Structure 1
Amino acid sequence: MSNSIAPAIASPWTRDEFEQQLRDKGRSYHIHHPFNVRLNGGRCSPAQIRGWVANRFYYQSIIPKKDAAILSNCDDRDTRRKWIARILDHDGYDDYQGHAAGGIEAWTQLGAAAGITRDELWSLQHVVPGVRFACDAYVDFARRQPWQESVCSSLTEMFAPQIHKDRLAGWPDHYPWIQASGLAYFRSRIPLAQRDVDHGLAVTLDHFTTRVQQQRALDILQFKLDILWAMLDAIEKAYPE
């Protein structure tokens, strides 16, 4: 008879401890990527900024598809009613001249302010393979995984307000050639990101309750952080200093 003792199963973190573990993942957020540091520090050329805007537009364009994939897997009515707002936040409403234009349209205006025409931006001609692969992998994850895991992957929004605030604070001085109206996207996302975090965090804390599940949630969040980081790796290579 074996005398081996089965390894002890770690106790789950408390709700507050688990939330802190999730928030600590901000150390891997792409705000720390060398390209973003240069971008927000005023050290990027117009060509690099346009390249970043054009490639990041592809990410903006897939967000509604990612959110629709989450909805298609979600069997919780309350979550569906709240989550659908995210699609409208990006795709917009009927009034494309007003405040309800949506994030994709606001990013299009950023492109115009930086010197990229709508047709050029929407053609996706400047999207590099690494960015396309990373974004498509994110949509595929949302289609294939349980909806609670896809919700967890959205928690990179916890770290987004600061990156938007940095751009709003620095870009007008660093890049005066970019029309100020083009920065509206960053301004609009600050309150929306907090609303999205409140909901996504509540779902995650409620669903991932064992230590094994909590570790899975941390791995999922790291996966999304890696996607954002890989996008900047690809952009940095395509638009070197």
Structure 2
Amino acid sequence: MEQPLTPAEFTAALRGLRHRYWDRHPFHVRVHAGEASPEDIRRWVANRWYYQRCLAQKNAAIIANCPDPEIRRRWLERISFHDGHSGGEGGLGDWLALGAAVGLDETELLDERHVLRGTRFAVDGYLTFCRTRPWWESAAAALTELFSPEHMSDRIHAWREHYDWIKPDGMAYFEKRIPQVREDASYTLGLVVRHCVTREQQETAIAALAFKCDVLGAMLDAIDYAGQR
């Protein structure tokens, strides 16, 4: 049996998946270069809504599978962040505001008429993964948050520079999420490193993060392809 990676080696292996994150997808590259149409932006926002809507369920699944009350209490904050404490609040409320800022009626997001088959398949697969795998494996999959703050900062800059038709109040989700995700990423990384102590667990965690990168990439594949038909 192979020896476990040291904490430093394990951390480096997780961070080493940075190249698989979706910021390097051709769709995002075009968006950040100012080459996206309003239809491209709206299609991304409408499809990403489906992902956003499932995040609280994903986090609830991780809690349901975790036997440690301290971890459950800490992870519960993620559900509150996305769902808010009442309707129209939290990340979901901010995403509806983003939809309005790019010209999407709230009804269009809520009834999911624009959600592509590829997006639905990828997100449903991720949710099933988190419901059926050990909690620490699902937590490792969530470590795409290691890579997202810089990407969200770049998105805000690119959208303000290239897409002045997007109403400024639509940026609220990203502005609130950046500091929160940095804190979450640090906590989750420490959690995964502490609990994945065997080589098998470590390799499973690395594979889980790779899987999550593929989920995000598959969403963009569908969104990108739909714009080329």
Same topology, TM > 0.5: yes
The two structures, once aligned, show a CA RMSD in angstroms of: 1.2
The aligned residue for residue 168 of structure 1 is 156
In structure 1, C-alpha distance between the alignment counterparts of 2:209 and 2:124, rounded to whole Å: 17
Cα contact 2:62–2:131 (8 A) shared by 1:
yes
Where does 1:77-116 land on structure 2 (aligned, <5 Å)? 77-94=69-86, 96=88, 101-116=89-104
2:146 aligned with 1:154: no
Runs (5+) with no aligned partner, structure 2 = none
> 1:210 Cα deviation (Å)?
2.0
> 1:225 Cα deviation (Å)?
0.4
Equivalent position amino acid for 1:240 in 2? Q
In structure 2, C-alpha distance between the alignment counterparts of 1:76 and 1:213, rounded to whole Å: 18
Where does 1:1-241 land on structure 2 (aligned, <5 Å)? 9-94=1-86, 96=88, 101-240=89-228
Equivalent position amino acid for 2:27 in 1? F
SS in 1 for 2:4: coil
Deviations 1:152-193 (A, max 9, x none): 110000000011100111111200000011011111111110
In structure 1, C-alpha distance between the alignment counterparts of 2:193 and 2:97, rounded to whole Å: 36
Equivalent position amino acid for 1:32 in 2? R
Query: Any runs of at least 4 consecutive aligned residues in structure 1 with deviations exceeding 6 A, and if so which?
Result: none
TM-score by length of 2: 0.97
Deviations 1:38-66 (A, max 9, x none): 11111100011100100000000000111
> 1:95 Cα deviation (Å)?
7.7
In structure 1, C-alpha distance between the alignment counterparts of 2:38 and 2:159, rounded to whole Å: 12
Give the greater-gyration-radius structure (CA).
1
Structure 1 stretch displaced more, 178-187 or 10-19: 10-19
Percent of aligned pairs with the same residue? 45
> 1:94 Cα deviation (Å)?
3.1
> 1:72 Cα deviation (Å)?
1.1
In structure 2, C-alpha distance between the alignment counterparts of 1:95 and 1:119, rounded to whole Å: 15
> 1:71 Cα deviation (Å)?
1.2
Flag the 1:95–1:55 CA change in 2: closer, same or farther, 3 A: closer
The aligned residue for residue 3 of structure 1 is none
> 1:142 Cα deviation (Å)?
0.8
TM-score by length of 1: 0.92
In structure 1, C-alpha distance between the alignment counterparts of 2:221 and 2:81, rounded to whole Å: 27
